[in-house]
Structure 1
């Protein structure tokens, strides 16, 4: 047990730093909104900011104080309202059910003060360290949700947005050729591996080997310029480019109009990505509460799986499987040193990735060259979550983690995305991290890269 304490102690300062960063970022995202902006219009993909804040704090209560200490919550009468499995999604907008901003902030900071004091006042076991990191990473998921909520409803950009170009690169084109071979996928360990750099959620485990044939994958993400060509070639109006699921998505909105004197259904077909518009003789993209000229070199963002799939058919390409994606990003082989990120094991920073809401996918797809993978693929971490062709399923040997709903509710009907996006927290991401989204999601910062059909 002594060695377990010593390992945990090495990470105590890091956990405290991550906890305080998560606290300050969440608080800033809520405090920076005027009172009338807290009344977020109902949208099925986002939660109101105050609920996000209360829910994040509640998670610490459940998995630290209830689980470790057996102590009750600060206000047990509110537990069901902060618990995502007890309050329906639409009811989270009912301001009569929840406390206001100042009361929520008080609850939030009370919980964080208790957590911080607990970490600092004792030696931590490996299990305690694991639980803290789990809760901090969970909160960072909700920080990302708070950011895409602002984009969804058209609120101002977060204060963290700098809008600079910290790591310019020279334009690159073409595919990276990935040789056939045996590769490592996933992170080591089972659910009871608690501490250290190898923290992972249950869907990333256990690590295994896979044999893959050679394939070719694009060095860069699909850009706005490339997707614009699809739009202007009437890609949305060509049924042969769309799968059954894609056509069903296109046909979700039906309007009844008089056409030549006859009443018949007319499809409201989307003709461009979610936040694009043709205005003033140019393509524009809505960026939070502003309409800006479309940056042709930036990655196409906010596209569904169905749109990515249709673009691939139009271009004579395909989406990578998630195994192909991870191999292209990390290149981990058996018996070799394991890398967590495309460039190695140093933590992500602004020279390598577009994350932490700093640049918000506004920079060219060829920027961040020092973040290249071993096969010279660019921006495989950050910028946009990348759609893969894979269904979100457990790896062989999967074991449910301490939070049974982190992965299991998404198995089967969700698609795997990889790499994290511009709104993702950089301390959350590893090259093995798997995120699951329904194929119709486009409010998240999703994009894609492609593979050649003959590989």
Structure 2
């Protein structure tokens, strides 16, 4: 059952539930700290939490109250303050921001109007509202900012305020890598009603045969790269990567701390030994690429990642998720802040792809060796600033979502991107390599 199959009232109920789920998370992330913490900038890489909260409300007002609902503005005087393009994150604390009480009252008032608009707006006849698209866009926007706020929590100092149970245990995997045969598959989507513009249109892509890691690179494997002097050997780094490594004095993933002969990590205010079987997280693209070179491998391309995640050779079609078309459940993937770290490799056998690749969704965003661009036939909708203005810039692709990503924004066509130096995000990677003809003959024998 998809959203397209729902009747109008069932669709309204689904949208309302998704809006509420996102808001519950926003409230939990902001209520976890006091007002001083809400207005403080914990890192120049991030906004104060109170800015994110009011920005969530402002985007909801712009699109759902003013555009979809054609209602009078709730607060027409704050649009500039909460325009992410107008003010870099480092400068946002100097703006006349709504204080915590004002921000909370603002997002509540906007939401009350939005729920009334949801009850009275036809969800058909106009592309922006068909299948609840505009509401789904706002759900995804709020959940993306919730993940951003979760990253801000990781950067704050002080006693832990977030708590969650540990992820499930890992399991042995059948092989370290999987062969994906050469062939064409359908990349992107035309049918997912809440897919965003950069996921469209679907198109056929040929991919040569390649091997891809069965699971993301673990902390234990990455520690071997460090111990082998990987950060001190320029051979493994690109020119840009080495320049950044030197300038930023990179010596290990962010939040790793050396303690004698072992590594510790600071995870949301808790300092603990690093679990060797969890996917490594908080590495930038340059670190991921250097590790891959040291290991005699490379990072996957975006097309390779999506084929491994979606293509089902038994049917010849591309699926919404590695395991099928149904939304992820807790048995499929580590998502939605259910846990506060990646899960050990092999923890989600129900989430394996048709190709035999594990943990492609959830746990860590995966760096890919592809730049951000539009697909053939791309058309910006409903505004250029979501995707198009970032095409061709200094961005590398990230796919799959993390333990902090919500299921509303983790489908296997969902595309994320960031600067290759970013480490505060919940990003890791897996490796790939091109298949040699002799290896293909051996596999077929």
TM-score by length of 2: 0.91
**For structure 1, which segment, 304-313 or 361-370, has the greater mean C-alpha deviation from structure 2 after superposition?**
361-370
8 A contact 1:184–1:332 mirrored in 2: no
The correspondence for 1:423, drawn from 393, 397, 404, is 404
**For structure 1, which segment, 402-411 or 321-330, has the greater mean C-alpha deviation from structure 2 after superposition?**
402-411
Q: Which residue of 2 aligns with 1:18?
A: 18
* 1:174 and 2:154 aligned: no
Mark the CA change 1:163 to 1:6 in structure 2 (over 3 Å): closer, same or farther. Answer: closer
The correspondence for 1:245, drawn from 224, 240, 243, is 240
* 1:292 and 2:272 aligned: yes
How many angstroms does 1:42 deviate by?
Answer: 5.4
TM-score by length of 1: 0.89
Q: Which residue of 2 aligns with 1:203?
A: 198
Within 1, Cα distance between the matches of 2:426 and 2:413?
Answer: 19
8 A contact 2:42–2:155 mirrored in 1: no
The correspondence for 1:232, drawn from 227, 234, 238, is 227
8 A contact 1:184–1:333 mirrored in 2: no
Within 2, Cα distance between the matches of 1:6 and 1:36?
Answer: 44
Q: Secondary structure at the match of 1:66?
A: helix
8 A contact 2:185–2:318 mirrored in 1: no
Query: Gaps spanning 5+ residues in structure 1: where?
Result: 190-196, 254-268
* 1:223 and 2:213 aligned: no
Within 2, Cα distance between the matches of 1:222 and 1:435?
Answer: 19
- Cα displacement string for residues 237-294 of structure 1 (whole angstroms, at most 9, x for unaligned residues): 00111111101111224xxxxxxxxxxxxxxx32211111111442101101121101
How many angstroms does 1:121 deviate by?
Answer: 3.8
Within 2, Cα distance between the matches of 1:354 and 1:427?
Answer: 13
Q: CA RMSD in A?
A: 2.1
The correspondence for 2:416, drawn from 430, 435, 451, is 435
Correspondences of 1:357-368 after superposition (within 5 Å): 357-368=337-348
Mark the CA change 1:121 to 1:198 in structure 2 (over 3 Å): closer, same or farther. Answer: closer
Mark the CA change 1:158 to 1:117 in structure 2 (over 3 Å): closer, same or farther. Answer: farther
Correspondences of 1:47-446 after superposition (within 5 Å): 47-94=47-94, 97-125=96-124, 127-128=128-129, 129-154=132-157, 159=162, 161-166=163-168, 168-188=170-190, 197-253=192-248, 269-332=249-312, 336-412=316-392, 413-446=394-427
How many angstroms does 1:76 deviate by?
Answer: 1.1
8 A contact 2:169–2:343 mirrored in 1: no
8 A contact 1:285–1:294 mirrored in 2: yes
Q: Secondary structure at the match of 1:141?
A: helix
Within 2, Cα distance between the matches of 1:22 and 1:295?
Answer: 30
Within 1, Cα distance between the matches of 2:161 and 2:201?
Answer: 37
